Homo-oligomer: A and B are copies of this chain.
C-alpha cells in the first residue's frame, strides 16, 4: 500500500490552511487530489477505521474544491451538466449528482450546493470540472461566472460529530437535515455547514471561506472534543469501500457511465430537462447495461496494494477488473470494488482476482457491504 519515496508539496501541489495542524499531529501518508494535498493515514488505516466508527474525527478535505457557477444562466448550465433532475431543487439543499460528457462518460460526481436560484457550488471529486463548465458556457454563449472560490472544507465525521459540533456552534446544528446546509457563526463570521461527508458514520462539512480563521476553528473543535477522543482523520479506505462509496478517478473514470456506476437513481433520463449525454445514457439503458461496479469479498487474510487494476476472471476468462480493495478487519479478509460484466455480477458468483502475488478466489457481494454473520 505504501511507497518509500517522499512526496513534495510546492506551489503546484498546494498545501491547505490545515496542513500545519495535521503535520504537527503527524500525518502518515498523503495523496494529491485536485492539485492539493490530501491526507490518507494518521495512526494506521485500520486504527483510523475503528476510531472513525467509534468517535469523531476532523478531516482536512480542502481538496474538495468548489466550482462556483453564478449568473442568469447558472441554473441552465448546472442542469446541462448532470442527468439528475434539478428542476425542483431548493436553496439550502445539497444534491449528489453525476456529471457526464456527450458519450455518457462520468466527468465527476460532485455534491451540488444550491446557494441561491442563480448561484451554485459544485463540491467536486478529482477532475478539473471548472474547465468543462467554462467550455460549455463559452460554446453555448451562456451568461455565467465560473471560478474556484477560496473555500477549504473541513469535515467532522463519526458518531460523535453532532455532539462535538453542538459544543462549538450551538444547538442549531441539530436542525440541519441530512444533505441540508445552514450557516453558523464562528469568530464573528458566518460559515456554511452541511450535514454531508465522505463516510457512512454521519457528520458535517464546514465550508471554510476564511483561511485566516481555519487554524482557530480547527483548534476550537479539537479542544472541545478532547473528552470525545477527537483526532485528525481522513477519508478511510476500509470504511469507504465497505460503505460502497466510489472514488472518482479510481473506481470510475470518463470511460464509465453513471449507469455502470449504479447511480441510476441520480439519472432522470425521461425528465423534461436538457443535459449533455442524454441520448448516450438513454441508449445504454435501452440496450441494457452490460457491466457495473460490484462488491467482491476476497478470500485472503491480507490484500496487496492495488496500484493498477487487477483482472477478474472466471475459468481463465476475463469478466472485469478490480479497482480498489483492502483488508477488512470486520470480515478478516478483503473487500473490493470491481467493474464486472453482466454475466458475472450476480451476488454469490465465484470469481478469481488476478493479484500481483497470484490468483485469489473471491465472491460477488452486495454493496454497501453488510455486516458479516
Q: Which residues of A contact B (CB under 8 A)?
A: 1-15, 19, 23, 27-32, 35, 39-41, 101-102, 107, 126-141, 247-251, 254, 276, 305-309, 323-324
Contact = CB atoms under 8 A, between A and B. Distances in A.
A240 to B, nearest CB: 12
Contact of A8 (B15, B23, B40, B130): B40
A367 B111 CA distance: 44
15 contacts: A1-B8, A3-B30, A5-B6, A5-B29, A5-B39, A6-B6, A7-B29, A10-B31, A11-B309, A12-B248, A15-B307, A19-B307, A35-B249, A138-B276, A139-B141
Nearest to A309: B11
A51 B58 CA distance: 44
> Can you list the 9 inter-chain pairs with the closest CB atoms, starting with the nearest?
A139-B139, A135-B135, A12-B250, A32-B32, A7-B7, A128-B128, A131-B132, A12-B249, A11-B250
A244 B306 CA distance: 38
Contacts of A324: 10-11
A366 B71 CA distance: 43
A35 B108 CA distance: 14
A129 B126 contact: no
A6 B323 CA distance: 21
Given A135-B133, A136-B138, A140-B139, A7 B35 contact: no
B32 A6 contact: no
A108 to B, nearest CB: 9
Nearest to A128: B128
A46 B96 CA distance: 47
Contacts of A139: 135-141
Given A6-B3, A128-B127, A11 B138 contact: no
Contacts of A29: 5-8
Nearest to A237: B10
Contacts of A7: 3, 5-7, 29-32
Which of A12, A30, A309, A323 has the most chain B CB atoms inside 10 A of its CB? A12
Contacts of A2: 6, 8
A1 B29 CA distance: 16
B134 A134 contact: no
Nearest to A29: B6
A3 B31 CA distance: 12
Contact of A134 (B31, B135, B249, B308): B135
Contacts of A31: 7-8, 10, 12-13, 32
A82 to B, nearest CB: 14
A88 to B, nearest CB: 26
A7 B29 CA distance: 6
Given A5-B27, A126-B35, A306 B134 contact: no
Contacts of A307: 9-11, 15, 19
A67 B250 CA distance: 20
Contacts of A6: 2-7, 28-30, 41
